Structure 1
Amino acid sequence: MKRTTVIGFLGSTLDASKQDAARWNKWRPTVGLCMQPDLRVDRLVLLHGRQHEGLAKFVTQDIASVSPETAVEPHTINFDDAWDFEEVYTELLDFAERFEFEPETEDYLVHITTGTHVAQICLFLLTEARFIPGKLLQTQPKRGKPDAGGVWTVIDLDLSRYDSIAKRFAEGSRTSTSFLKGGIETRNAAFNAMIDEIEQVATRSSAPLLLMGPTGAGKSLLARRIYELKAEQHRLSGAFVEVNCATLKGDNAMSALFGHRKGAFTGAVAERAGLLRSADKGMLFLDEIGELGLDEQAMILRAVEDKRFLPVGSDKEVESDFQLIAGTNRDLVRAVAGGSFREDLFARLNLWTFNLPGLAERREDIEPNLDFELKRFAAAEDTRVTFNKEARARYLSFATSAEARWDGNFRDLSASITRMATLSPDGRIDRPAVEAEIVRLGNLWAVEPEQGTDALAEVLNADAIARIDPFDRKQLSEVIVACRRNPSLSATGRELFSVSRQQRTSTNDADRLRKYLARFDLTWSDVS
């Protein structure tokens, strides 16, 4: 059998007693735990201050008389202030890190009946965090007649052992996850798994998060929900501050982010706190962080790591302790390689990176989001609108088909539902309203986003582009745009070669597209 080691404080009041026979009629926690018929204590590590060495020797002698098999090891820990949480926790953490635990051969019990309340709390935290690999031990006097032994109880902090607690934790986790999804019962397995992971990170870590994904994928909404979840759990007390970095240009970017002192530059007629200070004790969401200049990126990194930064025109640093969430629709790995994004900042952000898929990659989630948008319209306009059965089936058939491109992702869907609801004054969206909306969406998506040139510049450098004929540049740009709105090489090939493939008995659209990209020394991973 394993040996049992108990670690606990000497009770300067509860363990004290006159040195006469009457003390055996008194419950003394440290002596009493060694008198239990069903608890064998092989070793007792007795923590005490230097001023209580005499009491420790007296208690050790009494333990030897009632439990000669117990080896008592007095251990002196001195506190300048036994009620100073930081000091007590630090000293006990040092003790735990120095202690030679051997859980393969010993079971450990942490006695939390004696010592100050601060010491008891610290022992609890160290045990819960597994710095002390044991269970908690509580003792108390027996009710009724005097008894020197008292009674004892062991508490195992592995909460999974307690069915009712585990059930409550599981329910709380599901509630948090549902909250992050806005109460939408999403069906995409990969998305749901990602949200579960984000919920765990949000409730356990204050490190920066990086949300990547196309415009309209829901990065801003998710960031706000993460903030609200943490605020509800009292992990944040400050404000949620959101800024689109694409709107910050030149000197205004520095001033807006870090603030400035009065007179720092022409027009600075008053001091400005800046967005980072406004987010103190709260959360700062920097959307489109890839649009920031390198100087701003350097200061953001310093502010995240040191919680300090220098306002424009000031020679005195200010402090702000905030959690950062960054959002981007750019490929930051490529931006780092191209020199437009700092590698050290990306490394700091990349601890927790989550890629939010576009709506076209989550078509099974269109129906629950449709219901969510109808509820949101009802709340905003105080008007309930529904689909008739035929209209709903037609809209979902179109929305989940390859015909629906959803270039704007959830923004397109939200706008679509809002238009149909607004144009259905009787509160019922019918088939003609759906058909009209399908035409609108087709017209919207018929205009290619002006991203071809930008997309080309993101995958090829200026010299490479200069070596391509203007005709081929235009064609390659269209191909890149198609690659980015489809989930795979095969899906893109089917879209690009949809006419010619009907005239062939065998098709390999993926190989055809792969060979086309290879003409420009590009691969699917380069452009997708």
Structure 2
Amino acid sequence: MTHNVLVVDDEPKLCDLLASALSQNGISVFTAGNGLHALKVLEVEDIDLVISDWRMPGMDGPQLLAEIKSRFPQLPVIVMTAYSTVKNAVQSMRNGAFDYIAKPFDIDELDITVSKALQFRDILKDNQRMRAELDEHQQIDSLVGDSPSFRQVLHAIDSVRESNATILLTGESGTGKEMVARAIHKHGNRADKPFVAVNCAAIPEGLLESEMFGHRKGAFTGAVTDRVGRFQQADKGTLFLDEIGEMPLALQAKILRALQERVIEPVGDPRERKVDVRVIAATNKNLLDAVANKEFREDLYYRLNVFPIPLPALRERVEDIAPLARHFAHTLGAAAGKRITGFSPEALQAMANYSWPGNIRELQNCVERATIVASGAVIEDNDLPAYLFASSPASTSAILSEGASVPPDLDAALAEVEKAYILAALAQSNGVQAAAAQLIGISERSFWYRLKKLGIHVDKIVR
């Protein structure tokens, strides 16, 4: 695992000396000339250890130590001090420093002290990761269901979890692709290593390469320090590449090389770095169509599609709606301090009749809202959002029976239903797009895409 160490000293030569010594052990070193600069670095970089001088102009060592213990309480700090002020270093340890080294210091002694501090940091990180996974039990446990289509997903997870095969998760937005990726990691042979998730659509194209592979200081404007990329962060663990279909073509070639050869090159650094990463990719796009349209590399597609797992839409597993809803009501009700025991038959029927275009994410949002507004222990149909009743099969049949023209094919029919559904959400949110997206359980970006695709102009809706 690569570690990041911040050296804080107002003597540039000493900073360079320490950087040279530590880098021999594969450590990435950041430097700062004073305490204030150090705090700025800590705000933007994932630092594992701080080595700070005792006496510095402006904010000195004791002041910096106090700030670090206040803002980053689990970050270890090693204090550097002259032999004549060892008693000050002892006092700093009482104030929370991990250890101290006396100037002039021995390189071997430095290596031992730094190694112990980084081992301590790793233990803390592992504990944090374990706690985070416990906190995420709701997400993992959300793999609820016994429908035939979902049993196939569970069987696939069980088949592949102990392997290192690259996995491609496909399915509509909100079907639980990240939950499945986390379940595979948690129950696989890399469970005690990092799980790093990257949303390829959420990072600006110009920063995506640096985000994936890291960069060296000075590689481009704004690269004021070295940065470790997501591949290195996930070393020995799992890298989850969400919305892989949105990745720019130019970067796809570098991702392909990283998958094939297990090496990366940080931006601005010609040296190759070996990585051992299990990759799980996910998309809601048809990648074969993207390949045909020259929007996605064919060789990368086949490299990712080693073990495909298609996730069914919620409307394709209607029998799972009730157990999922009960699961969400139990966990969300407990978090809100309310005891929800279940749903009325009318509420369950309304949820079963609804098409759930936002899938599991939309169902969770729906149940969360119902949990908040419910006055009793049982969620009634009038506790559910009104839009659930606007596109039920009964109302759709009524519309068609009134003489409305039937769309010429299924895609056109679904587009009409989707458009009516989005218009209803916009009407309910008074035209506020962010609120409408939240109502139906999809991201704002996906909502804007659907508006454009369906030719919906919001200024014509708001009244």
Shorter-chain TM band = 0.5 to 0.7
Q: How does 1:426-445 map to 2 (within 5 A)?
A: 426-429=376-379, 431=380, 434-442=381-389
- Name which one, 1 or 2, has greater alpha-carbon Rg: 1
Partner of 2:94: none
Q: Distance in 2 between matches of 1:236 and 1:435?
A: 43
Partner of 2:369: 419
Return the letter of the residue paired with 1:371. R
Is 1:366 aligned to residue 325 of structure 2? Answer: no
The verdict on how the C-alpha distance between 1:358 and 1:183 changes in structure 2, with shifts beyond 3 A counting, is closer
How far the C-alpha of 1:478 sits from its partner, in A, is 4.0
The verdict on how the C-alpha distance between 1:269 and 1:185 changes in structure 2, with shifts beyond 3 A counting, is closer
Q: Distance in 1 between matches of 2:418 and 2:279?
A: 28
* Per-residue CA distance 1:261-314 (angstroms, 9 max, x = gap): 111111111111011111001100001000001121111111112110111111
How far the C-alpha of 1:206 sits from its partner, in A, is 0.2
Q: Distance in 2 between matches of 1:444 and 1:268?
A: 51
How far the C-alpha of 1:353 sits from its partner, in A, is 0.5
Maintained 8 Å contact 2:156/2:309: no
Q: Distance in 1 between matches of 2:142 and 2:227?
A: 38
Please give the root-mean-square deviation of Cα atoms over the aligned residues, in Å.
3.0
Partner of 2:187: 229
Identical positions, percent:
37
The verdict on how the C-alpha distance between 1:180 and 1:201 changes in structure 2, with shifts beyond 3 A counting, is farther
Partner of 1:188: 147
The verdict on how the C-alpha distance between 1:363 and 1:340 changes in structure 2, with shifts beyond 3 A counting, is same
Q: Distance in 1 between matches of 2:256 and 2:352?
A: 42
Return the letter of the residue paired with 2:182. R
The verdict on how the C-alpha distance between 1:350 and 1:483 changes in structure 2, with shifts beyond 3 A counting, is farther
The verdict on how the C-alpha distance between 1:186 and 1:482 changes in structure 2, with shifts beyond 3 A counting, is farther
Structure 1 residue corresponding to 2:350, chosen from 372, 390, 398? 398
Partner of 2:161: 202
How far the C-alpha of 1:366 sits from its partner, in A, is 0.5
Q: Distance in 2 between matches of 1:180 and 1:269?
A: 37
Q: How does 1:50-449 map to 2 (within 5 A)?
A: 182=141, 186-203=145-162, 205-230=163-188, 234-387=189-342, 392-401=344-353, 404-429=354-379, 431=380, 434-442=381-389
* Deviating more after overlay: 473-482 vs 252-261: 473-482
How far the C-alpha of 1:375 sits from its partner, in A, is 2.1
* Per-residue CA distance 1:321-349 (angstroms, 9 max, x = gap): 11000000000011111111111111111
Q: Distance in 2 between matches of 1:212 and 1:325?
A: 11
Q: Distance in 1 between matches of 2:365 and 2:391?
A: 12
Matched residue count: 270
Return the letter of the residue paired with 1:481. A
The verdict on how the C-alpha distance between 1:216 and 1:184 changes in structure 2, with shifts beyond 3 A counting, is closer
* Per-residue CA distance 1:100-139 (angstroms, 9 max, x = gap): xxxxxxxxxxxxxxxxxxxxxxxxxxxxxxxxxxxxxxxx
The verdict on how the C-alpha distance between 1:217 and 1:253 changes in structure 2, with shifts beyond 3 A counting, is same
Return the letter of the residue paired with 1:196. H
Return the letter of the residue paired with 2:369. R
The verdict on how the C-alpha distance between 1:484 and 1:289 changes in structure 2, with shifts beyond 3 A counting, is farther
* Per-residue CA distance 1:219-274 (angstroms, 9 max, x = gap): 011111111111xxx44542100111111222211111111111111111111101
* Per-residue CA distance 1:67-106 (angstroms, 9 max, x = gap): xxxxxxxxxxxxxxxxxxxxxxxxxxxxxxxxxxxxxxxx
Return the letter of the residue paired with 1:241. V
Maintained 8 Å contact 2:143/2:180: no
The verdict on how the C-alpha distance between 1:386 and 1:263 changes in structure 2, with shifts beyond 3 A counting, is same
How far the C-alpha of 1:436 sits from its partner, in A, is 4.8
SS state at 2:228 partner: coil
Maintained 8 Å contact 1:377/1:418: yes
Maintained 8 Å contact 2:241/2:281: yes
Maintained 8 Å contact 1:237/1:281: no
The verdict on how the C-alpha distance between 1:187 and 1:305 changes in structure 2, with shifts beyond 3 A counting, is same
Maintained 8 Å contact 1:359/1:410: yes
Q: Distance in 2 between matches of 1:436 and 1:237?
A: 42
How far the C-alpha of 1:425 sits from its partner, in A, is 4.7
Partner of 1:481: 415
SS state at 1:211 partner: strand
How far the C-alpha of 1:181 sits from its partner, in A, is 6.8
The verdict on how the C-alpha distance between 1:436 and 1:376 changes in structure 2, with shifts beyond 3 A counting, is closer
Maintained 8 Å contact 1:288/1:327: yes
Return the letter of the residue paired with 1:223. A
Q: Distance in 1 between matches of 2:272 and 2:391?
A: 49
Q: Distance in 2 between matches of 1:185 and 1:284?
A: 24
Maintained 8 Å contact 2:373/2:383: no
Maintained 8 Å contact 1:259/1:274: yes
Q: Distance in 1 between matches of 2:334 and 2:149?
A: 30
The verdict on how the C-alpha distance between 1:277 and 1:184 changes in structure 2, with shifts beyond 3 A counting, is closer
The verdict on how the C-alpha distance between 1:479 and 1:237 changes in structure 2, with shifts beyond 3 A counting, is same
Return the letter of the residue paired with 1:441. L
Unaligned runs of 5+ in 2: 1-136, 393-406, 420-463
Q: Distance in 2 between matches of 1:318 and 1:480?
A: 48
Q: Distance in 1 between matches of 2:263 and 2:229?
A: 13
SS state at 1:325 partner: strand
Q: Distance in 2 between matches of 1:298 and 1:441?
A: 44
* Per-residue CA distance 1:111-168 (angstroms, 9 max, x = gap): xxxxxxxxxxxxxxxxxxxxxxxxxxxxxxxxxxxxxxxxxxxxxxxxxxxxxxxxxx
How far the C-alpha of 1:442 sits from its partner, in A, is 4.5
* Deviating more after overlay: 375-384 vs 241-250: 375-384
Partner of 1:88: none
Q: Distance in 1 between matches of 2:259 and 2:277?
A: 8
Q: Distance in 2 between matches of 1:376 and 1:184?
A: 14
Maintained 8 Å contact 1:236/1:281: no
Q: Distance in 2 between matches of 1:423 and 1:221?
A: 27
TM-score (norm. length: structure 2) = 0.54
Return the letter of the residue paired with 2:161. A
